[in-house]
Structure 1
Amino acid sequence: MRVIACLFFLCFSTTCIAQDISEIVVQGNTKTRSNFVRKITKVSENTPVDSLILEADITRLKRLPGIAHAYYQVTPKDDGTFKVIYGVEENFTIIPSVNVYTTNNDEFAYRLGLYEFNGLGQNISIGGFYQKDIYSSFGVNFKAPYLFSKATGIALNYQNLTTEEPVFLDSGTAQYKYNNTSYEVLGLHEFNFKNRIEAGINYFTETYNFKSGATNTEVPRFLKVNKLLYKLIYEYNDVKRDYYYVDGFKSTLNFQYVTTQSEMLPEFLIGFNDFIYYKRIGEKGNWANRLRLGVATNNDSPFAPFAVDNNLNIRGVGNTIDRGTAAIVLNTEYRQTLFEKNWFVLQGTIFVDGGSWRNPGGDFGDFSDSQNLRIYPGAGLRFIHKRIFNTVFRVDYGFGITQNPTNGFVIGIGQYF
């Protein structure tokens, strides 16, 4: 019996060894470092081949800005073990960013930027932007999600943003020159493949300087306040990518607590969740949906945190045309590939953007008020480069069908959502 038991043990051990991985190779990469790919993937040497882990690694690699496409191969070796090959097709990752938005009220604004999304071949993003929206603004961003380990990193952000903002008073609308200068530090951590958080602090100074329009003795013409913002972002991501096609569900919760020493700009809590659902339709169609639910402390202040804006939520509506202390916004669009040749893709898009807001100091019945409801259908085009990260040049035209409608173009790089 001992002989039989020993023979069984030896056979079982040999079988286990025969299924083990003895070599991992990364190929097709020129800029992305091979050791970085090994660092963030789950497969390791001296472990059994597991197709579920391999598939998860490929999905993870496809999400990286530096990689356009990825695949794996498992080949047997002469000693009975296996070699795993991760093949990647890299993106070009030094990318300009462009956002332009107009309305029939002759409003015109743009933002230009330049970003590197695969710095040092380790998925580090660094870059900055310049914005012209009546006044000049700029910002600098740094993000290294895997700086400390395969799951932990850091983000640093600075911005000096100046715009002309409407402030809605009982007597009418006032126009203020608004400036926000901020410094932000965030810690980044992935719990697992689908769940991650960002948490940190933002120190910023807000300045409001009256320019024109209605006045109110209780609302100052000049206001400068230092604030501290505590931020927590939780993301669940189960989206799969195949070049420019996307399929799956994603949820992002953003919670912020803002402290201040001004009674005019009191401290408040704000939270909003973006629910995003993508669905492949046939071979060339993609249906995309985004639902945002948001609520903040219901201060009766003209400086409410949720804005109705071209570049944020409703295409064609204008640049910050209203504010509220709660929001419901739904964006839905269908993207159809019209032409594809080698690296170039042309998509056509039809969309409907709609939303409503709670007035500062109001109640949730404001959502059904026709003055707060805005619905903007529209259409657009997408010009896509399959080998350059996030190079989707979009042109959308939205037009209002609810009360006091406007219309206009929204132009930018990257899908709207």
Structure 2
Amino acid sequence: MRKSLLLIMVLFITNSLLAQNIIIKNIQFEGLKRTKESFLRRLVKVKPLSAYNIEQIETDVERLNRLPGIAKAIYRLDKTNPTEYVLTYQIVENFTIIPGVRVSQANDDSFAFRLSVFEFNFLGQNQIIGGFYGRNVFDSFGGYWEAPYLFSNKLGIGVNYIKNVMREPIFFPNDNTVNYKLDNLSTEIYALYELDFHNNFQLGIKYVDQEYSFIDGAVTAQVPNELSAQKWSVLSEYENNHLVVDYQYVYGFRNFTNVELITGGEGLLDDELIAQTDFQYFKKVGEKGNWANRLKLSYATFNDSRFAPFALDNQLNIRGAGNSTGRGTAEITLNTEYRHTLYEKDWFVLQSNTFLDTGTRRNPTGDLNDLVSNSTLKVNPGLGIRFIHKRIFNAVIRFDYGFGIGNNATNGFVFGIGQYF
């Protein structure tokens, strides 16, 4: 027994010493069409003539799989002599010029839409550039550019300009819903920094010119005709990412935490601190299943205004809840769903979805007891279907129907692009 253990230890030490003497002589990339090889060489941490390290190689593969321009990356090691390997990354690229169409019902029951086009591999460096035009009672438009690795393999930048104009319902006491025209013009610039493979930071500033103009509703002393504010915000975000992505399957966990300090407002649009954290957990179930979970916690310090920052909405938190049917200054949302691959052939995947969305909120001017009140609790189970193109980035067309349970229950059909979370 002792001899066997001694032999195992000797073999382990010998293999470790041999591995330390092996070097990666050269690095190659296969399958590249639009992505620049120079960009990927700068991004990966394994370099030519570096020591062989299998964990670092596998981490680089996962780093490549997270890029919008890459559908799937694997690696191959070819031995040229006993102490040298050639490392080859085999790449399947995504198609990344993505048009988008969103169709919905506006808050005045009219037809609403949003048209967009985004390039997720701009200049072959996985930069994001694009814009949108939409009409939700009023016209809106915006433009975005984000280059996460513009300056180095750790440091990048993003900017956006958005003019969002919409009919916005605000909920006053005694079931008095007042509709405003919200004209929200914002400009933002931010820096992105990758501390390591799992931890990313974002820091930026934003200018917002915000105007509310009365449209209709019951006029009372509490209901202002017009409100306006010119605000500056400091925004920060931290991401801890341990996800593994294999086409339509995702497993691991991720957390986003955002903090925004807003100044420049007054009265009903006063200054506030907004904090949100989003926990996500994914687990592969058998050969074709994927269990996905999201817990979202949100809190705003300014609680004296009906113009609250968090909305109860089909596209944001509770499928079947309707379009902006409630507002809050704190919220808890839990989404859990089981995704199952019904059919898969080459590039196409048909996936079913069984979900449960639950959430509660603190009403404007309310207290934290609202979060445990039946009057604010929403429970919506539902069913859905997904049509997925495996070689087009984020090409998931989803259809869901949520069934409300309990008091003030609402049912609804939800359409969108991309997984719900």
**How does the TM-score come out when normalised to structure 2?**
0.92
Pair 1:85 & 2:88 matched: yes
State the 1:98 CA deviation. 2.9
Aligned to 1:192: 196
* Among 298, 301, 306, the residue aligned to 1:302: 306
Residue type of the partner of 1:193?
F
Aligned to 1:8: none
State the 1:299 CA deviation. 2.1
The 1:104/1:302 distance shift into structure 2, 3 A limit, reads closer
Aligned to 2:28: 25
Over aligned residues, Cα RMSD in angstroms?
Answer: 2.0
Give the secondary structure class of the aligned counterpart of 1:77: strand
CA contact (8 A) 2:400 2:415 kept: yes
Aligned to 2:125: 122
**Aligned equivalents of 2:115 and 2:320: distance in 1?**
20
* Among 148, 171, 175, the residue aligned to 2:151: 148
**Aligned equivalents of 1:408 and 1:80: distance in 2?**
62
1:119-140 deviations in Å (ceiling 9; x for gaps):
1110100001122222221111
State the 1:399 CA deviation. 2.2
Residue type of the partner of 2:98?
I
Same amino acid, percent of matched pairs = 48
Counterpart mapping for 1:3-18 below 5 A: none
The 1:47/1:299 distance shift into structure 2, 3 A limit, reads same
**Aligned equivalents of 1:80 and 1:168: distance in 2?**
71
**Aligned equivalents of 2:216 and 2:269: distance in 1?**
20
Alignment: residue pair count? 406
1:42-87 deviations in Å (ceiling 9; x for gaps):
1011211110000000001000000000011111124842211111
Pair 1:56 & 2:59 matched: yes
CA contact (8 A) 1:17 1:80 kept: no
Residue type of the partner of 1:180?
N
Aligned to 1:325: 329
CA contact (8 A) 1:103 1:317 kept: no
Larger displacement relative to structure 2 (143-152 or 163-172):
163-172
CA contact (8 A) 1:107 1:318 kept: no
* Among 138, 147, 151, the residue aligned to 1:135: 138
* Among 262, 269, 290, the residue aligned to 2:266: 262
The 1:305/1:416 distance shift into structure 2, 3 A limit, reads same
Aligned to 1:11: none
Aligned to 1:284: 288
* Among 179, 182, 194, the residue aligned to 1:178: 182
Aligned to 2:38: 35
The 1:362/1:104 distance shift into structure 2, 3 A limit, reads closer
* Among 185, 208, 225, the residue aligned to 1:204: 208
**Aligned equivalents of 1:213 and 1:121: distance in 2?**
51
Pair 1:230 & 2:228 matched: no
Structure with larger RCO (C-alpha < 8 A, sep 6+): 1
* Among 377, 392, 403, the residue aligned to 1:399: 403
**How does the TM-score come out when normalised to structure 1?**
0.93
Residue type of the partner of 1:270?
I
CA contact (8 A) 2:106 2:136 kept: no
Q: Which runs of 5+ in 1 are unaligned?
A: 1-13
1:203-249 deviations in Å (ceiling 9; x for gaps):
01111011111223243211121111110000000000111100000
